[in-house]
Amino acid sequence: MNIVDRFLKYVSFCTTSDENTGKTPSTPGQMVFARYLADELKQIGMTDVSLDENGYIMATLEANDQQPMTNDQRPIIGFIAHMDTSPDASGENVKTSIVKAEERDFIDARYAGQDVIVTDNKTLLGADDKAGIAEIVTAMEYLIAHPEIPHGKIRVGFTPDEEIGCGADHFDVAAFGADFAYTMDGGAIGELEFENFNAAACKIHIHGLNVHPGYGYKKMRNSMLIANELAAMLPANETPAHTQGYEGFYHLVGMQGTVEESTLSYIIRDHDRARFEARKQFIETVVARINELYGAGTAEVEIRDQYYNMREKIEPVMHIIDLAQEAMKAVGVTPVVKPIRGGTDGARLSFEGLPCPNIFAGGENFHSRYEYLPIRSLEAAQGVIIEIVKLLNR
């Protein structure tokens, strides 16, 4: 199957994750997709294909006889992508078409003349990260079909629930057994990332008091209004719409409320660890201030760290960054080394002993109904995987 058809098949699976279920995978569609992928990996000739009860897939492409190095010298490389799509926009009943870039005003002008995969703008596309999966599977299929290309042992891993910060929760690094890996989970063509946000999720619960509105004077405490007051205490210019590069932010991602009870859901991000810790402390301070104003227990906060900046774990093995850059140049792609204004499974895996920088998957406008995927970018990412394998075993 060619890579475009493979990707279009993948996006037909609804794999939206959900942080509220408490399950892994968090939604049943992810397991349906996982079973399909496990079968496909077997069909193309991968070995040791496993799918566990949490939806994690691992598979092996064994070293071939063309490899000039001894087994002890061969590094084991891994390629990883995630199966879920963001809950920020619907991933159900995705309807795709292939258009020229000029036919859609939301497609960047640098893709002029290229064929681009888009949706009907009612759902996201799912290039984050089904493009990454398609690139890995197609690259493995190519290597199997071309045994003249020497390579050592290659491991492949697909994870659930990356979009809700849980993709590495049950990933068995020891069982994966790679010396290093790459997540194929970046954005535009050429992106190569080994720095990411430190990240935390935050829920603030506001308790109000409801009485008949005709008799509410000096009695009613509307939790929604208190929640709005709390939100206004956070810096207005430290949101995703006002920050870039290495600048961190507070991002309000959800609000639910009644007069009696309200909940604010935030994500907290910063590349610098000290500033990250200060941001979490500021949230605590704001909650304490609300309790001073409205009484103890009015506001309660839960903060959960999700992942940390992988840079400190990649710097000792910068040769894997050099390898990726060389592979990109070999297939005509200009490397763009930049910090991730987000996170990947690779961030947490790097802290668990598997150095794992991030390579572009090729899509743009992730988490949006205006997400799109230039076909050249999709094909180039597949080429980068194959070239990394070639360069590693030259």
Which of the following is catalytic: 128, 129, 162, 379? 162
Residue 229 known to be catalytic: no
Catalytic member of 84, 128, 345, 364 = 84
Q: Which two tokens stand for residue 1?
A: 């199957």
The question of whether 179 is a catalytic residue gets the answer no
Question: Is residue 182 classed exposed, middle or buried when 0-12, 13-18 and 19+ CB atoms within 10 A define those classes?
Answer: buried
Residue 93 corresponds to which tokens in the numbers above?
């009943």
Nearest to 344 by CA among 305, 307, 382, 304: 307
Cis peptide before 129 (omega within 30 of 0): yes
Rg for the chain, CA atoms, rounded: 23
CB atoms within 10 A of CB 87: 20
Sign of CA dihedral 372, 373, 374, 377: positive
Task: List the strands of the sheet with 249-257, edge to edge.
Answer: 249-257, 261-270, 198-207, 299-307
Among the listed residues 364, 389, 386, the one whose alpha carbon sits nearest the alpha carbon of residue 131 = 364
Are 279 and 322 contacting, i.e. CB atoms less than 8 angstroms apart? no
Pair 7, 131: CB distance under 8 Å? yes
Could you give the residue numbers annotated as active site?
A: 84, 162
